[in-house]
C-alpha cells in the first residue's frame, strides 16, 4: 500500500504530461488544463495514502525502499530506479503535490485564453513530476536526476513566453546558475563513488564517516553548492528575481513551494555528511543569515510586485538554511511548509491584482486597488502577517523556532540570532511597504481605467478558491507545531533527521526569541506605516545606499565583469583570429579538394568483377610480404 501510493504520487503528473503532449491539438486548451490539474490531484491522493500507511507503523519501521529495476550497472556500481518512502520524503510529497494542486488549479483561470495553454500545462505537470522524483529518489543518483529535471522544467516555465527576449534571458540565467550547482553536486558524488562504490543513501553516509576531513568537507561543499544554486542563496542568487518574467503561477509553484526549497531538503536528507563536516554546516547557516539580510534590504527598493515577493522568498529560505545548517532540521522543514502556504498565497493574490490590471506589475500604478478587490486585499494581508511572523499566523510558529534554535547554539549562534532578528524587522518593513503602497486609499485613475476594462471581477472561481484555501492554511497551518508544548513535526521527522542537541533551545530561549521577533516585526510594520501609509510624507533617502540597493549590491555587474565580458572577448578574438582566416577561408578550398578526390575514387568503381578481384589479390600479396618480412 505504501510503495503503491508513492509510485502513484510520482507517476500521475508524468502521465498528465504525456497525455497532454501526445494528444496535442486533438484536445482543447481547457481539457489540457483539467488533465494537468487532475494528475496533480491524483498525486496528492497518492501522497496521503503513503502518509496514512507510515502513520500506522512504529517510528523505527517508517522507511520503505521500492525499486522498479536496476537502472545503471557498471562493475561493482549499481543504481536502481527506486523511490524512498520515509517521513521526510512523505512530508515533502504532501507539500509539493498539495500546494502544487492548488497552483495548477489557479492556473486554469490565470492562463485562460493563452495561445500556448496546452504547452503550459504539460510543463507544469512535468515540473511537479520532476520535483517529486527529487524528493522521492531512493538513492543519490535518482535524486540528481530529479534535480536536473527540475532545472530543465524551470527553464521551460520561466521562458514560457519565449517571444519576449527578457523571459528567454531570465530562463537561460536560471539554467546556467543551476547548472553550476549541479556540477558541484556531481563532483561530490564522484568522491563518494570513488571511496564507497555506491550512491545508496545508507552506504554513502557510512562512507562519509570513514573519509578524511578534507574529503568529507569537499563532499559537503559540493552538496552545499547545489543547494545554494537551487535555493537562490548568495552568491548564486541573481537568477531568482529575473525569473519573475514567467507567468505568476510559475512564480508561486517554483519560487514559493517547491524548487527553491530543494536545497533545504538536500541538507536535511544528507545531514549525516554535513554532521561529519560541521564547518560546512556552519557555512550553510552563515550563507542563510547573510542572504536573509541582503535580500531583505534589496526588497525595500523594488517596484515590481513580484520582485518584492521574490526577494522575500530568498530571505525566508535564508532562515531555512540557517536552521538546517545549525542542525535544526525539523525547524527548517516546518518553516518550509508554512512558507509554502503564505508565500504561494502572496504570489497568487498578487496574480489576481496583475490579472485585474491587464498585466501591470509596477506597484506605483496600483494605488487603492484594495477598494475594488476587498477579498484579494484580505488574502494579501493574511499572507503578509504570516510572512512577518505575527501571532497567530503560520510564520510566527515556524520562523521563531529557527531564531530560538540559533540562540541555543554555541557562541556563533548569537551572531546568527542577531541576524535573524534584524531580518524580522526588515521583513515587516518591506512587506508592509508593499501592502501600504498597493492596497489602501482611493483607487488611482490608472487602477479604475484598467479594472473597469476587466469587467470589475476579482477573478474566476478557479483562481479565488485556491487563494481562499491558502489563506486559511496561512492562518492555522502553524498550529501544527507549537514548541515546546507540542512538536509533532519534530517527532515525525526524528527517525530521519533528528535535531542536534546544540540546536535545542530552552523554554526561556524560545520565549525571549519569540518576544523579540514579534516586537521587531511590529516595529517594521509601524515604520512602514509611517513612511508609506501617509503618501504625502517624503521617504528619507540615502543616495549611496539607495543606488547600491537598486543595483542589488552590484552582483550582476560583478558577474558581468568577471565572467561574461572576458568570455565574450575571447569568443570575438577566436572568431577574428581563427574562425574567419582559417576555418571560413579554408572552407571553399577544402570543398573543392574533397570533390576532386571523390571524382578520382569514383573512376575506380568500374563495376567489373575482374578489377575488384585483382585489387583484392594485390592487397593480399602486400600483406603476405609484410608478414614474411616481419618474421
Q: Residue 326 and residue 37: Cα distance in Å, rounded? A: 38
pLDDT at 170: 92
* Band of pLDDT at residue 263, cut at 50, 70 and 90: very high
Decide: 157 and 124 in contact? Cβ < 8 Å.
yes
Q: Are residues 464 and 573 in the same domain?
A: no
pLDDT at 347: 94
Decide: 375 and 383 in contact? Cβ < 8 Å.
no
Where is the domain boundary, 462, 477, 492?
A: 477
Q: What is the rounded average pLDDT of the residues 93-105? A: 95
pLDDT at 593: 74
Lowest mean pLDDT among 72-81, 216-225, 236-245, 383-392: 72-81
Number of Cβ within a 10 Å radius of residue 575: 13
State the DSSP code for 362: B
Cα 99 to chain centroid, rounded = 14
**Domain containing residue 599:** 556-630
Q: Which residue in this structure is represented by grid cell 509533532?
A: 488
Query: Is there a domain that residue 424 lies in?
Result: yes
Decide: 376 and 349 in contact? Cβ < 8 Å.
yes
Query: Is there a domain that residue 588 lies in?
Result: yes
Q: What is the rounded average pLDDT of the residues 202-223? A: 91
Left (φ > 0), alpha (ψ -120 to 50) or beta: where does 393 sit? beta
Q: Residue 585: pLDDT above 90? A: no
Joined grid coordinates for residue 435: 501592502
Q: Residue 125 and residue 33: Cα distance in Å, rounded? A: 10
Where is the domain boundary, 427, 459, 477?
A: 477
Decide: 496 and 391 in contact? Cβ < 8 Å.
no
Q: What is the rounded average pLDDT of the residues 319-327? A: 94
Q: Residue 157 and residue 171: Cα distance in Å, rounded? A: 8
Burial track 412-444 (b if 16+ CB lie within 10 A, e otherwise): ebeebbebbbbbbbbbbbbbbbbbbbbbbbebe
pLDDT > 70 in the chain, percent: 97
Where is the domain boundary, 477, 505, 530?
A: 477
Rg (Cα) of the chain, in Å, rounded? 28
Q: Residue 227: pLDDT above 60? A: yes
Residue pLDDT, tens place only, 516-525: 999 999 999 9
pTM for this one? 0.89
pLDDT at 343: 94
Q: Residue 207 and residue 219: Cα distance in Å, rounded? A: 11
* Band of pLDDT at residue 398, cut at 50, 70 and 90: very high
Query: Is there a domain that residue 273 lies in?
Result: no
Number of Cβ within a 10 Å radius of residue 226: 27
Q: Are residues 453 and 562 in the same domain?
A: no
Q: Residue 159 and residue 170: Cα distance in Å, rounded? A: 7
Q: Residue 542 and residue 525: Cα distance in Å, rounded? A: 21
pLDDT at 100: 94
Query: Is there a domain that residue 307 lies in?
Result: yes
pLDDT at 315: 94
* Band of pLDDT at residue 258, cut at 50, 70 and 90: confident
Q: Residue 92: pLDDT above 90? A: yes
The CA dihedral of 253, 255, 256, 257, to the nearest 10 degrees, is 50
Decide: 128 and 373 in contact? Cβ < 8 Å.
no
Q: Residue 128 and residue 519: Cα distance in Å, rounded? A: 38
Q: Residue 474 and residue 416: Cα distance in Å, rounded? A: 26
pLDDT at 453: 60
pLDDT at 614: 83
Q: What is the rounded average pLDDT of the residues 172-187? A: 92
pLDDT at 68: 85
Q: Is 144 exposed, middle or buried (0-12, 13-18, 19+ CB in 10 A)?
A: buried
Query: Is there a domain that residue 549 lies in?
Result: no
State the DSSP code for 210: T
Q: Residue 249 and residue 124: Cα distance in Å, rounded? A: 10
Contacts of 1 (CB under 8 A, 6+ apart): 49, 53
Q: What is the rounded average pLDDT of the residues 405-417? A: 83
Three-state secondary-structure class, residue 558: helix
pLDDT at 324: 93
Q: Are residues 448 and 336 in the same domain?
A: yes
Query: Is there a domain that residue 456 lies in?
Result: yes
Q: Are residues 461 and 344 in the same domain?
A: yes
Contacts of 297 (CB under 8 A, 6+ apart): 426, 549
The mean pLDDT of the chain is 89
Residue pLDDT, tens place only, 9-57: 999 999 999 999 999 888 998 999 999 999 999 999 999 999 999 988 8
Residue pLDDT, tens place only, 523-535: 999 999 998 887 6
Query: Is there a domain that residue 270 lies in?
Result: no
Lowest mean pLDDT among 73-82, 290-299, 514-523, 616-625: 73-82
Bridge partners (DSSP) listed for residue 200: 139
pLDDT at 352: 92
Cα 303 to chain centroid, rounded = 23
Task: Give me the number of domains the chain comprises.
Answer: 2
* Band of pLDDT at residue 452, cut at 50, 70 and 90: low
Decide: 184 and 227 in contact? Cβ < 8 Å.
no
Taken in order 188, 288, 147, 70, the sign of the CA dihedral is: positive
Tally the C-alpha atoms within 13 A of residue 425's C-alpha that lie toward its C-beta.
10
Query: Is there a domain that residue 21 lies in?
Result: no
CA distances from 385 to 346, 375, 525, 629 (A): 11, 15, 10, 92
In total, the chain counts a number of residues equal to: 631
**Extended strands (E) in 1-141:** 64-74, 77-85
* Band of pLDDT at residue 308, cut at 50, 70 and 90: very high
Q: Residue 601 and residue 618: Cα distance in Å, rounded? A: 18
Amino acid at each position: 500500500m505504501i510503495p503503491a501510493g508513492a509510485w502513484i504520487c510520482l507517476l500521475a503528473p508524468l502521465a498528465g504530461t504525456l497525455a497532454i503532449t501526445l494528444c496535442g491539438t486533438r484536445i482543447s486548451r481547457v481539457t489540457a488544463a483539467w488533465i494537468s490539474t487532475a494528475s496533480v490531484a491524483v498525486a496528492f491522493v497518492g501522497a496521503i495514502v503513503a502518509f496514512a500507511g507510515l502513520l500506522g507503523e512504529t517510528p523505527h519501521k517508517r522507511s520503505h525502499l521500492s525499486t522498479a529495476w536496476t537502472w545503471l550497472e557498471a562493475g561493482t556500481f549499481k543504481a536502481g530506479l527506486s523511490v524512498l518512502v520515509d517521513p521526510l520524503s512523505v512530508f515533502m510529497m504532501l507539500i509539493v503535490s498539495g500546494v502544487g494542486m492548488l497552483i495548477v488549479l489557479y492556473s486554469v483561470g490565470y492562463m485562460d485564453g493563452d495561445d500556448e495553454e496546452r504547452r503550459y500545462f504539460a510543463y507544469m505537470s512535468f515540473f511537479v513530476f520532476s520535483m517529486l522524483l527529487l524528493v522521492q529518489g531512493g538513492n543519490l543518483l535518482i535524486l540528481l536526476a530529479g534535480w536536473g529535471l527540475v532545472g530543465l522544467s524551470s527553464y521551460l516555465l520561466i521562458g514560457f513566453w519565449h517571444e519576449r527576449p527578457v523571459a528567454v534571458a531570465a530562463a537561460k540565467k536560471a539554467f546556467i546558475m543551476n547548472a553550476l550547482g549541479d556540477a558541484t553536486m556531481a563532483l561530490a558524488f564522484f568522491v563518494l563513488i570513488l571511496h564507497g562504490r555506491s550512491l545508496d543513501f545508507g552506504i554513502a553516509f557510512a562512507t562519509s564517516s570513514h573519509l578524511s576531513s578534507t574529503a568529507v568537507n569537499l563532499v559537503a561543499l559540493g552538496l552545499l553548492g547545489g543547494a545554494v544554486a537551487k535555493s537562490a542563496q548568495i552568491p548564486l542568487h541573481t537568477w531568482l528575481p529575473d525569473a519573475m518574467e514567467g507567468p505568476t503561477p510559475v512564480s508561486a509553484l517554483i519560487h514559493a513551494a517547491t524548487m527553491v526549497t530543494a536545497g533545504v531538503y538536500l541538507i536535511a536528507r544528507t545531514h549525516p555528511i554535513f554532521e561529519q563536516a560541521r564547518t560546512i554546516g556552519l557555512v550553510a547557516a552563515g550563507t542563510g543569515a547573510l542572504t536573509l539580510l541582503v535580500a531583505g534590504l534589496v526588497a525595500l527598493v523594488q517596484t515590481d510586485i513580484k520582485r518584492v515577493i521574490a526577494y522575500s522568498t530568498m530571505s525566508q529560505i535564508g532562515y531555512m538554511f540557517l536552521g538546517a545548517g545549525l542542525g535544526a532540521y525539523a525547524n527548517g522543514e516546518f518553516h518550509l511548509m508554512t512558507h509554502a502556504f503564505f508565500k504561494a498565497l502572496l504570489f497568487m493574490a498578487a496574480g489576481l491584482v496583475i490579472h485585474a490590471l491587464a498585466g501591470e506589475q509596477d506597484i506605483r500604478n496600483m494605488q487603492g486597488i484594495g477598494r475594488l478587490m476587498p477579498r484579494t486585499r484580505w488574502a494579501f494581508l493574511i499572507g503578509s502577517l504570516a510572512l512577518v511572523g505575527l501571532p497567530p499566523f503560520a510564520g510566527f510558529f515556524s520562523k521563531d523556532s529557527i531564531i530560538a534554535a540559533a540562540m541555543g547554539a554555541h557562541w556563533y549562534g548569537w551572531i546568527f540570532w542577531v541576524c535573524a532578528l534584524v531580518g524580522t524587522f526588515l521583513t515587516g518593513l518591506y512587506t508592509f511597504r508593499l501592502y501600504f503602497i498597493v492596497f489602501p486609499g482611493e483607487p488611482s485613475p490608472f487602477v479604475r481605467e484598467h479594472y473597469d476594462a476587466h469587467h470589475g471581477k476579482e477573478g474566476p472561481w478557479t483562481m479565488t478558491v485556491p487563494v481562499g484555501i491558502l489563506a486559511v492554511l496561512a492562518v492555522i497551518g502553524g498550529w501544527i507545531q507549537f514548541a515546546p508544548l507540542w512538536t509533532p513535526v519534530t517527532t515525525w521527522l526524528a527517525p530521519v533527521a533528528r535535531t542536534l542537541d546544540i540546536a535545542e533551545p530552552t523554554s526561556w530561549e524560545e520565549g525571549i526569541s519569540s518576544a523579540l521577533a514579534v516586537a521587531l516585526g511590529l516595529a517594521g510594520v509601524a515604520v512602514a506605516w509611517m513612511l508609506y501609509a501617509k503618501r504625502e510624507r517624503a521617504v528619507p533617502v540615502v543616495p549611496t545606499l539607495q543606488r547600491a540597493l537598486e543595483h542589488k549590491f552590484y552582483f550582476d555587474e560583478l558577474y558581468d565583469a568577471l565572467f561574461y565580458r572576458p568570455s565574450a572577448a575571447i569568443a570575438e578574438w577566436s572568431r577574428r583570429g581563427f574562425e574567419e582566416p582559417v576555418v571560413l577561408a579554408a572552407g571553399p578550398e577544402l570543398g573543392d579538394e574533397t570533390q576532386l578526390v571523390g571524382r578520382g575514387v569514383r573512376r575506380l568503381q568500374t563495376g567489373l568483377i575482374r578489377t575488384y578481384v585483382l585489387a583484392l589479390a594485390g592487397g593480399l600479396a602486400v600483406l603476405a610480404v609484410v608478414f614474411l618480412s616481419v618474421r
